[in-house]
Amino acid sequence: MIKLTEQPIQAEQAIDAVAHCNAGANLLFLGTTRQWTGDQETRELKYECYQEMALKQMQQLHDQAMEKWPLLGVCIIHRLGCVPVGETSIAVAVSSGHRQPAFEAGPWLIDRLKQVVPVWKQEINQQGDSTWVHPLNPGATS
Amino acid sequence: MIKLTEQPIQAEQAIDAVAHCNAGANLLFLGTTRQWTGDQETRELKYECYQEMALKQMQQLHDQAMEKWPLLGVCIIHRLGCVPVGETSIAVAVSSGHRQPAFEAGPWLIDRLKQVVPVWKQEINQQGDSTWVHPLNPGATS
Amino acid sequence: MKINVIVFAAVKEVLGRERLEIDLHAPATVADLRQALLQKHPNITDLMDHCVISVDQEYSDDSTVLKEGCEVGVIPPVSGG
Amino acid sequence: MKINVIVFAAVKEVLGRERLEIDLHAPATVADLRQALLQKHPNITDLMDHCVISVDQEYSDDSTVLKEGCEVGVIPPVSGG
């Protein structure tokens, strides 16, 4: 399952999407908005995307992971709009018969997603100032 | 959180247990009963444990993981009794500021758990025959 | 030919809009589009140094050939997740 | 001295019960307990080859010294998860 949503992401939603009767291993990664990054306090993150291309790139990551590993399911859900401290911006779930493919595919998917999926975030601090997050300014997420 | 339970394990339960306002990364592993292992069809797994020692060993794994990595939370829940196909026997969740510690601690915890925590499972096949699972007969889980 | 360009994040903020139209002589490549874009909007020069260009929702390079009606995206460093 | 022994999984099935009491002359080690256990229950000899012994819920080795009232576990290869 591939999804972009403005609604809060529930853990069950992503893990249910990869459930399979032949799965022994189910891995879920949730990226959440962190309150403190060093001495910087974040109020929320604000995400926007290039929707058609983001969905296309997420689908490609899904397909590539299914090809690279013997997975039974792959789910990528990205939230858009404002994500307050503690809430989930990204959920990646995978399932496989045994645990090694899941533990390899999970980090690969989130690493690749952060490299190729056209989503951008602004960090809003406690004073309400916003900054675009980029590689030299990595911000309040995982 | 460390827990042994006869009740079904919900994903939210484990992920909520490691929620932290300074977490950017939250990782959940669920081990579920697999229906087919090669040409062997499993009906359910039946778990028993040495309760006091299992809790002690799980707490030690919790503490060791918190020491080895900069984690914000560690949760290990193991189910006991019968676990039908598709249901969760083990949930391991960890949270951290950034994702690397979570992705290292997650597999370490499940690997270690399978080595040191005194829990035993029997595999019940479709004919109702039961077999103790051991290293030479690894059974229908992750 | 007319090329539809969509811009995002900081580039969108500086330009004050999300969609532009750039007129190019065919045949034209992504490199030609970059040049035309900077000529028309020199205020995004610094940002463009860090942007990659997508053509019809796929990453491209300077030599990618543009076709009439294609959709070009100006993609700043992504920061999803 | 009396040592409380708890057995699990296949060992429990073979013995038909979970708790045993083994009488040892102090001082005694885990190795002495193993020997006494096999003398009393030779039918678990094959299984015992693959078991480790816990003392008061911690893994032990053959040289670990047993104390009056301690709880010994006979731990077959674990298969949790």
Does B37 reside within a domain? yes
**Given C9, C59, C80, which is nearest A114 (Cβ)?**
C80
Mapped onto helix, strand or coil, the DSSP state of residue A132 is: strand
What is the predicted pLDDT for the residue at A134? 81
Full residue range of the structural domain in which residue B92 is found: 2-9+27-133
Residues contacting D67, CB < 8 A, separation 6+: D1
DSSP designation for D42:
G
Whichever domain contains A51, its CATH number is: 3.90.1170.40
Q: What is the dihedral of CA B73, B3, B120, A72, to 10 degrees?
A: -50
Structure confidence by residue, pLDDT tens digits, C49-73:
999 999 999 999 999 999 999 999 9
Cα A120 to chain centroid, rounded: 12
Whether the per-residue pLDDT at B4 is higher than 90: the answer is yes
What is the predicted pLDDT for the residue at B139? 75
Alpha carbon of B24: minimum distance to chain D alpha carbons (Å): 26
Does A21 reside within a domain? no
Domains and CATH numbers, chain C: 2-75 (3.10.20.30)
Q: Does B140 touch chain A (CB under 8 A)?
A: yes
Structure confidence by residue, pLDDT tens digits, A58-88:
999 999 999 999 999 999 999 999 999 999 9
Does B15 reside within a domain? no
DSSP designation for B58:
H
Cα–Cα distances in angstroms (integers) from residue C26 to residues C2, C3, C57, C58, in the given order: 10, 11, 21, 20
Alpha carbon of C18: minimum distance to chain A alpha carbons (Å): 11
Structure confidence by residue, pLDDT tens digits, B92-125:
999 999 999 999 999 999 999 999 999 999 999 9
Could you tell me if the ipTM is greater than 0.85? Answer: yes
Alpha carbon of A53: minimum distance to chain C alpha carbons (Å): 5
Sign for the CA dihedral angle at B133, B138, B141, B142 comes to positive
Does B116 reside within a domain? yes
CB spacing of D57 vs B49 below 8 angstroms: no
CB spacing of B121 vs D57 below 8 angstroms: no
Structure confidence by residue, pLDDT tens digits, A116-128:
999 999 999 999 9
Q: Which residues of D touch B132 (CB under 8 A)?
A: 9-10, 76, 79
CB contact burial B59-92 (16+ within 10 A = b; e otherwise):
eebbeebeeebebbbbbbbbbbeebebeebbbbb
Number of separate domains in chain B: 1
What is the predicted pLDDT for the residue at A139? 75
Whether the per-residue pLDDT at A137 is higher than 80: the answer is no
Does A142 reside within a domain? no
CB spacing of C78 vs A114 below 8 angstroms: yes
